[in-house]
Amino acid sequence: MKDFILKYLFRINPNTPGQPLLKSFDLLFPEATNVEWSKEKEGHFEVIFRINGIEMIAWFEKSGKWLKTETNYKIDMLNPVIREKLETFGQIMSSIFIEKAEYHPIYEFIIRDHFQVRHIFITDSEGNVTERRNFDEGELL
């Protein structure tokens, strides 16, 4: 009902980011292009965008507080030391660099082993594996 009143009586759409959020985004990502906003079930806002052709996704609170950013790394963007460590497990199919407020950055990789089974690897910023699970089953290994 509240959303209805805001949207139709006051012409305010509660599903669009407000000025504090937009200002925060512009300060953090001034070079962003192809920006697409959506409101998540939890009330947070998600924004998909590109910087220098690289796709990124960020989450913000409505107040403008940044929560998390995921950067879809191309394999050739990876630090060679990290890449070498992970290639011992199989073929790296995708890599995402994840930065969260108040946490150390991590990577999430999908790696296909020599049996063609896909696994999710979570590593620290040096490529040390902290978690591993089967991609299709979600089980920890």
pLDDT at 137: 64
pLDDT at 7: 47
Per DSSP, 140 falls in state B
pLDDT at 56: 97
Q: CATH number for the 1-72 domain, one of 3.40.250.10, 3.60.15.10, 3.10.450.360, 3.20.20.100?
A: 3.10.450.360
Which residue from 57, 64, 53 is spatially nearest to 31, judged by alpha carbons?
53
pLDDT at 10: 46
pLDDT at 6: 44
pLDDT at 131: 94
Pick out the chain residues at pLDDT < 50. 4-11, 141
Report the alpha-carbon distance of residue 5 to residue 111 in Å, rounded. 49
Q: Burial level of 107, CB count in 10 A (0-12/13-18/19+)?
A: buried
pTM here is 0.81
